[in-house]
Every structure is written in C-alpha cells, then in structure tokens.
A and B are shown apart, each in its own frame.
Chain A
Amino acid sequence: MSLDTAIETKHIIKKYNDFVAVNGVDLKVIKGECFGLLGPNGAGKSSLMKMMYCHSVITEGELFVLGLNAKKNFREIKSKIGVVPQDNLLDSDFNAIDNLRLFAKYQQIDDYTAAETIRSLLKLLKLEDFANSEIETLSGGTQRRLAIARALINSPEIIFLDEPTTGLDPQSRLWLWNFMKQVKEMNGTIFLTTHYIEEAEELCDRVAIMDRGKILCVDQPRILIKQHIGDEIIEFFSNPVDLNYYLNRLKEFNYEYQVYNNMVLVFLKSGQDSKKIFDIIKSEKVTVRKPSLNDVFLKLAGYNLRDE
C-alpha cells in the first residue's frame, strides 16, 4: 500500500445478524483529501464509517487505516484519528470542559499538553462561554462543536464526521464549512457523510454515492456530473397522455432521460444538440439548467423514499 493512502477497504462486509448493511465495499481515501460519502437513509454509511473508526466488528474483508490493520491495531488507529459520531456521544455526567479533559485522559495525553490543547480548542471552536456548562444545557450546534473539539484533541491525522451539519442552523452550518476548509488547508484528511449534496459538492474533493450497502460510484463531483448526467439538464412537465409520445421520440434520438411523476429530465451529454429536444417538445414549459451532484444522486439512488 502506498504511503499516501489514508484509508483502504478491501471488499468489506458488515452484517447485523443476517442483515447485510455494508455489502462488499472497496474504497481508497488519499491523505489530505476531503472525502464525502452520500447515500439515502439506511444506505450503510454509518455502518461503513464505524468499521473505519474501529467502533464495530468487520464481518468480512480487510480494512487499513493509515497503513494499520483495523482488525489488529485498533488501539493505534484510534490514537491517530478523531471521530464525530452521528449522535455526538458526549458524557452527560460532566460539563463541557471536563468532557474534553476526560477524553484527553482516555487518549493518554499528558495533563500539560492536554490543558494547552483544550484551551486552544475551546477558542477555535468558540466554546469558551460554555466551558462550564452541563451537556444537556447546550444547544445542538454547541454540542456538535464540542464533539468536534473532542475529536481534535489528539491532533488526529484523519477526522471522521458522521453527518456533521444535520440539525444545525444555516449560520452554524456555514461556520462548520469554513472550519472544515481550514482543516483541509492544514492538510488534514477528512472523511464525512452527509445528506446535503451541496455540502459535498462544496467541500469534498471526491465523493462516493452509496445505496443498499454498495458503492455506486466514486469520483470528483465535477467528473461524476459529467459522466452520469452530462453538460445540461432539460426539464419539462408533460400530461400523462402525451408522455409516451415524448419518451419514444427522445429514445429515437438517443437522449438519456429520467421520469419522475409527470416530470421528465433529459440529460444532455457534451456534443448532443439541445435544439432537437425543443423541436420535439414544442408546447410544454421547458427549463434548461446546469446539472448538479443532486441529479447524479437521484439518478443513481432513485426517487423512492427509504423506509427501513
């Protein structure tokens, strides 16, 4: 394995009893990149990530973090990574600063270094006013910042964030985005999951889209859009009577499209001409727009709701 690989999974599988949550995932995360994992509810994102931060047993396959085998050297791995789990996992028996102090103890950081680090982290994450507050009294955003401070206490080489911005207000989210950009500038490796596709597009160097335990695609957002959608999307509504006619014509001219209720999305590859489409669909209201990662996501994962 090369030195610049941060995380490598080799066909890993996670089963809960008979239920397969992660079904043979091969991934490689490069040091210094921000890697985003997208997927609908229950796709297996958290399950995959938990194996990476050695919080759950790997059912099958191999997993290496910073060149260390997750099945054997999990202690070393855990001392080199920082984790912000989906549910924060703070110690509700202690106040904010004691949470950090205890965590530093668990990580076996000496008291002097810990005190210094905690002081600078409280400042960095704007937690100074909350240092002596009990956990229950903190807002969701503050708890999340505390969990992030905690994850940074051992100056980790990789930081794992499971849905870091879920449940945060727009200000906190923006703040967190900037923060992650700073981490990236300091050459930290970030592995995050998110439901906000704009967030992945904005922050991540590469993203993977996951569904039903499998990775559907991995690449830079720009390339994924180009590959799976193309240059432009043409969107129009059609009444059910005319729909079939339109679809047949689109097929005839080799356009790729997707239908959702009465809405038709035509994916325009580079080199394909949009004029023909306007000829086909004369009477309807048509919009042309730039494709986003969201379109890739909906194309690959489908429009259906995921009820577990």
Chain B
Amino acid sequence: MNNFFKTTLTLAKIGDGYRYIWYRNFLQFRRTFFVSLFWVILEPLMYLGAIGFGVGSYINNIKGQSYIDFFFPGLLCSTAMMVPFFEGTYTNFTKLTFQKIYQHILLTRITPQEIVFGEMLWATSKGYFGVLGLSLIALFLGLIQDWHFILILIVLLITCWLFSCLAMLITSVAKNYDSFIYATSGFIIPMSLISGLYFPIEQQPLLLQIIAYILPLSHSIDLCRAILRHDFMDYRLYLHISYLLFMSYALYNLSSYKITKKLIR
C-alpha cells in the first residue's frame, strides 16, 4: 500500500521526447482529419441539437436557467471526457498490443515515460480540439455571452487531461477490447447519467449523489456551472478544483507507472 502511494505521488522525469510522440499522432490525425472532425465535433453537436434544443424545448426552466444554458456546460465536460477516453483506450491499446508502436518507438532514445506523457498530451489535445470546435459553434448560436467562459476552457483542459490519464490506466490493465466495452458501458456512460449532465444531481437518491461526487465528471460539470453563475464565494468551487487537480496528478503518475512496467519487461 505504501508503495502504491509512492508511485501515485512521485512525478517521473520527462525529457522532451514526448513532443515527437505528439507529432506522430498529429500527422496521423491530419490524414484522417474528416473522420476525426465528424466524431469529435459533430457527435456532441447532435446531442446539443437533440437534447439541448429538442428535449430542452419542453422544459421551461431548470434552476432558473433555460435548459440549453443548463445543458451546454455539461455537454462540454462530457466531450472533454469522451474524446480523450476513446483515444486513450481503443487507439492506444491497439498501438500497445497489435501494432506494437510503442515497442517500435522504444528502439530509439525515447523513454517509456516520454511515450506515456506524449500520448496523454495528444489525447488531451484531441479532446480539446472537440471542446474548442463545439464552443466555436456555440458562440455562433449565441450560447456564450459571458467572458467567464474563458475560465471554463481551463477547467475543460484539466478535464481532458484527467480522462486521458484515466483511459491510459484502463489501457494498462486491459486484457482485450472487451475490457473497454465494460469500461464504457459500465463506467463512463453511467457516470455521465448520474453526474448532472442532463438534470441536477440533487434530484437523485442520496447514494447516487455520493457516487457521483466520488467520480470526476460531476466535479467538472459543477465547476463549470458555478463559474458561469459567478459563484466564486462558494467554497465548493474550490473543492471541485482541488479534486480535479489531485486526480489529474495521481492518475497521471499511476498510469505512467503501469504502462512503463508493461513496456519494459
């Protein structure tokens, strides 16, 4: 247990090799730009249309807001979760096992820690690409009117990072692709349902509320909404930030340690 805390809390030394990992993924992304564009930005956009505007039109107000104003920050958070999560699980698992890309890169002077860091940075970038694309569209739709939105973009960046680390951790323990089906249907989707994305968390039984706050997504969503409400005096806002920062840090270290152990045997 002691060892567990040690690996979770000590930061690995990183050289600048991670840049080339990022660059490799960027090159590949550029080649498949339109496919990526489709699912990274258009998918959340469909949710925005169907749930935000569609379902939302039946709801007059929710906690004093229009439904679309309530839903939109949540949708940004879920995009910041989904895109890095899929990049970090399916794509990276394929690179790790079938394509043996990491083994190939390890023939060079790049270290496993640099590979992990570069991969997470990439998954974060891709998630952020989705977040920014969605935000840009929302700006044209008139959903963003407040300069505090810039603060939200910082929260979303942390969220992207956090979930890319979590995805990498799952990749490090996955046996096959089925593991990701369990992780998606058994963890990610239920989390998005109970974390206040579609309706306020308080509406649920206490047990579900507690579970929601143990998991990270609710903290991102609450934080974004609190910022847009200008609730800066609310102590909970700072708890959310602390939670997200700590989890980002710990999950990064843990997954870096796990993948490194898998790569160099």
> Number of A-B pairs whose CB atoms are under 8 Å?
58
A92 and B108 within 8 A (CB): no
Other-chain residue from A75, A92, A94, A98 in contact with B109 (beta carbon distance below 8 A): A75
> Known contacts being A16-B265, A102-B24, is A89 close to B104, with CB within 8 Å?
yes
Which of the residues B103, B111, B264, B265 comes within 8 Å of A89, measured between beta carbons?
B103
By a beta-carbon cutoff of 8 Å, the part of chain A in contact with chain B is: 16, 53, 55-57, 75-76, 78-79, 83, 85, 87, 89-94, 98, 102-103, 105-108
Interface majority SS (helix, strand, loop, mixed), chain B: loop
| Pick from B107, B110, B111, B264: contact of A53, CB under 8 Å | B107
B214–chain A nearest beta-carbon distance, Å: 35
A55 touches B28 (CB 8 A): no
Do B28 and A106 have beta carbons less than 8 Å apart?
Answer: no
Q: Which of B20, B100, B264, B265 contacts A106 (CB 8 A)?
A: B20
Bound together, the chains give a CA A33 to CA B194 distance in angstroms of 66
Verify B104–A91 contact, CB threshold 8 A.
yes
| A57 in contact with B108 given A87-B100, A91-B101 (CB within 8 Å) | no
Q: Does B106 contact A (CB under 8 A)?
A: yes
Which residue of chain A lies nearest to B103 when distances are taken between CB atoms in the complex?
A89
Chain B interface residue count, CB cutoff 8 Å, equals 21
Q: Which residue of B lies closest to A85 (CB)?
A: B107
Residues of chain B with a CB closer than 8 A to A83's CB: 107
- Given A56-B265, A102-B20, A107:B27 Cβ within 8 A: no
Q: A158 → chain B, closest Cβ, in Å?
A: 13
Q: How far is the CA of A183 from the CA of B232 in the complex (A)?
A: 69
**Contact check: which of B24, B100, B107, B111 meets A75 at CB < 8 Å?**
B111
Which B residues, 82 to 135, have Cβ-Cβ distances below 8 Å to chain A? 99-101, 103-111
Distance (whole angstroms) from the CB of B60 to the closest CB of chain A? 50
Expressed in whole angstroms, the Cα–Cα distance for A56 and B110 within the complex equals 14
| Complex CA distance for A78 and B264, rounded to whole angstroms | 14
Binding site for A on B (CB under 8 A): 15, 17, 20, 23-24, 27-28, 99-101, 103-111, 264-265
How far is A76 from B23 in the complex, measured between Cα atoms in Å?
Answer: 22
Q: Which residues of A contact B101 (CB under 8 A)?
A: 91, 93
Instruction: Specify which chain A residues have a CB less than 8 angstroms from the CB of B110 in the assembled complex.
Output: 106
A108: which B residues are within 8 A, CB to CB? 17, 20, 109
Could you tell me the distance in whole angstroms from the C-beta of A155 to the nearest C-beta in chain B?
Answer: 14
Distance in angstroms between the alpha carbons of A108 and B111 in the assembled complex:
13
The listed residue (A85, A94, A106) touching B108 by CB distance below 8 A is A106
- Residue in B20, B28, B100, B109 whose Cβ sees the most chain A Cβ within 10 Å: B109
Q: Is A89 a contact partner of B109 (Cβ separation < 8 A)?
A: no
Considering only CB atoms, which chain B residue lies closest to A84 in the complex? B107
15 more contacts with CB within 8 A, not counting A106-B17, A106-B105, are A55-B103, A57-B265, A75-B111, A78-B109, A79-B108, A87-B100, A89-B100, A89-B107, A91-B101, A91-B104, A102-B20, A102-B23, A106-B110, A107-B109, A108-B17
Measured between beta carbons, the chain A residues less than 8 angstroms from B103 are 55, 89
Report chain B residues within 8 Å CB of A56.
264-265
